[in-house]
Structures are given as C-alpha cells and as structure tokens.
Amino acid sequence: GSDMYINSGNDIGRRPQVWDYGIKLIGDGAVELYHNSKLRLQTWSDTVNILGDDDADAILHFYADRGDNNDDKWRLRTAAAGSFNIETYATGSWVTNLNISSGGQTLINQTSAGDSAVMLGVKNPTSNGTVVDVVCGNNTQGSHIAFSDTDAYARGLISYDHTNNFLSFRTNGDTTDRLHIRSGGEVAIGGQGYAGQPFSVQTSTTNLGYMQSTGTTRAVMAFADANSSVNVGYGCIGNNHVFMKDASEKLRIDSSGHILPGTDDSQNIGDGTTNFNSIWASTRFRGNDNVKLILGNAQDLVIRHDGTNNIIGSPVGGDLHIKSGTGDNDNQIIASFIHSSSKIGIGT
C-alpha cells in the first residue's frame, strides 16, 4: 500500500454528518477535534487546548489500564468559576484531591476553606473536620498555621504578627497565647512576656516566674504565685549568687563562697517554728584553722574549738554572763565573768 495524501489550499474538514465537524485540519498546521459540532481540542504551535462550552468546565480524563477499575480513573478539570482541579473516581464519583483558585488559594481534599484568607489548606481525606490551613497576611496583618477539627476551626494556632513581629502558639481554641516569642527574642509561657525578660512563666499578665538581665553584671530569676504580687527570686549580681524577695536581697553567696546576710541585716537562721537537729562545723571548712561561731558585729562573743580545747571567749573585752529566764526573757544572771577585774560572780 501506498500513502494517501489529501491536499488543500485552505482547511480540510472531516464531517461525520453533513452539519457536524469531526476533525478539522487548519491550513497553518493546527488540528481541531469536535464533538457534536462543539470544539473540544485545539492544537497551537507550542501547546494543546482543551475547551469547554460557554460557562461550562473543561475536562481532560486519564484512564489507566483501560479504566476497568474506579481507581484507574483521574481527570483534570478547569471549572468555569475559575479553579483548577485534580480529581479521582476511586469512590465511584468524582472527588477533588487538589483545588487551586484563580487567586492562588490551594486546597487539598477540599473545595472551600474555613477562612477566606487561607492560601494553603490540607484536609484529612478520612476525617471530615481535621484540617491544617496556612494563612499569609500582608505586612500589617498576621500570618498563621491553623489546626482545625470537628470541635472548632483553629483549635490549635501558630501565628506571626507582622506589625509587632512576635510569634505565638495557642491551643484548645483559646485566644490566650500558650507560648509567645517577642520581637526581641524574649520567650513567655502563658502570656505575652515583657521586654528585657528572656524567659517568663505567666497566667495572663501575672508573672509566676521570669528570668531577667539588667546589664552585664546582673541576671535574676523570680517567682510568684497566681494570687500574689510577691516575688521570690535568685540570680547573679556581679560575681555573687543572691537570693531575693520583692527585689530586696535576703542572702548572698559571694565569689569566695562566703554566705552573707541580706542588705538590711535582719535575717535569722531559722524562725523558731521549726528547728535544726544539729549545726555542724568542721576544720574541713578552713583547713586546720580554728572553727568559730562568732556573735555580734565586732566579734563580741566567740565559741570555738582550737584543735585541742573548747573555748567560749569575749575577744573585744566585754563581760560574759550566763543567764536564765522564761520564754524569750533571760533576765536572771546565774554567773558572771567580769573582764575588767578578771572575777567570777555567782548569781546577781
């Protein structure tokens, strides 16, 4: 057999009926395919067009394995309303797996979003309400990732505020931030935090605990309960470790390891409500030096062990009294050791 050629100076048409075009060969090389006189496929120099009727969708089907199973059937559909869709026939009817609107909104396993500002939405195909949405706001709005379920839209939320430049995390559909990262990098749990506090734990605007650095020589952590404004904290001031209450220093461990009272000299060891079982001192604290219990601003009374003897002394010259009494009132002198005359007195 020889090849057959049909030559024409213009177009060539193949009509299955007198009034219908089936195939049309255009003089410039383009090809058009028709169905019931309606143009469905058209070739250009660099592409192929699939056409729908006026106000109707344009659809291109793909059937694998001759389409003998529902799972074999897929289609591309451009909707008259302006969206592009990838659809499957696996369930026995056409279901949209991917929907892209003319404005760029992209949805997976859904055709509409809970928020019109959603740019990307992903829905679990086996659950009607489990959705993850991405919203991209402009420079004066917020962008967020919303996690929704059958209980509520945005049950969980990760949000960035473009105006104030903070990042927040929310749970359980609540409008309160569970975790908040400020523009300066400060991290707050349960609230929005404060500038200059690198880390804080809050209930709404009440600080339960926070870390704060107020210079190169000061960094503290403070704590309070939800019903009180009283802060108890500790931190570093210079090379000293300090314990504080309401910003007032109560105890200090200096850079040499010495334990010092607060700045107002009002602190006690114990408060009388409970007692230490024992207070031990050992030469391990200071090599082989004397171990001393020193009382008074000027070492007025010293109780010490010098390695051999147990000594009660009055180094600055004051008298020593042994007294008794009742309650906190020790008003009865039992014995006196008089420094000026080196005498001992019994009783008053």
Let me know the angle formed at the C-alpha of 10 by 7 and 16, rounded to the nearest 5 degrees.
75
Is the model more confident about 47 or about 317? 47
Asked if residue 297 has pLDDT above 70, the reply is: no
Q: Does residue 265 come out as left (phi exceeding 0), alpha (psi in the -120 to 50 range) or beta?
A: left
pLDDT score, position 267: 72
How buried is 148 (Cβ within 10 angstroms: 0-12 exposed, 13-18 middle, 19+ buried)? buried
Average pLDDT over residues 234-261: 82
* Residue 22 pLDDT class (50, 70, 90 cuts): confident
Nearest to 211 by CA among 201, 202, 220: 220
Which amino acid is it at 304? R
pLDDT score, position 5: 64
Give me 180's structure tokens.
């908040």
Tens digit of pLDDT for each residue in 94-113? 999 999 999 999 999 998 88
Average pLDDT over residues 285-313: 70
Identify the top-confidence range among 20-34, 77-91, 208-222.
77-91
**What is the DSSP code (8-state) at residue 150?**
S
C-alpha to C-alpha distances, 164 to 145, 178, 187, nearest whole angstrom: 18, 18, 15
Nearest to 128 by CA among 98, 157, 101, 148: 148
* Residue 288 pLDDT class (50, 70, 90 cuts): very low
Asked if residue 86 has pLDDT above 90, the reply is: yes
Q: What is the mean pLDDT of the chain?
A: 82
DSSP codes joined into one string, 156-196:
EEEEEETTTTEEEEE-TT-SS-SEEE-TTS-EEESS---TT
pLDDT score, position 282: 53
Asked if residue 230 has pLDDT above 70, the reply is: no
Tens digit of pLDDT for each residue in 176-203? 899 999 999 989 888 888 887 888 887 7
C-alpha to C-alpha distances, 23 to 38, 39, 42, 60, 107, nearest whole angstrom: 11, 9, 10, 18, 37
Is the model more confident about 303 or about 222? 303
pLDDT score, position 80: 92
Alpha-helical runs (H) found in the chain: none
pTM over 0.75: no
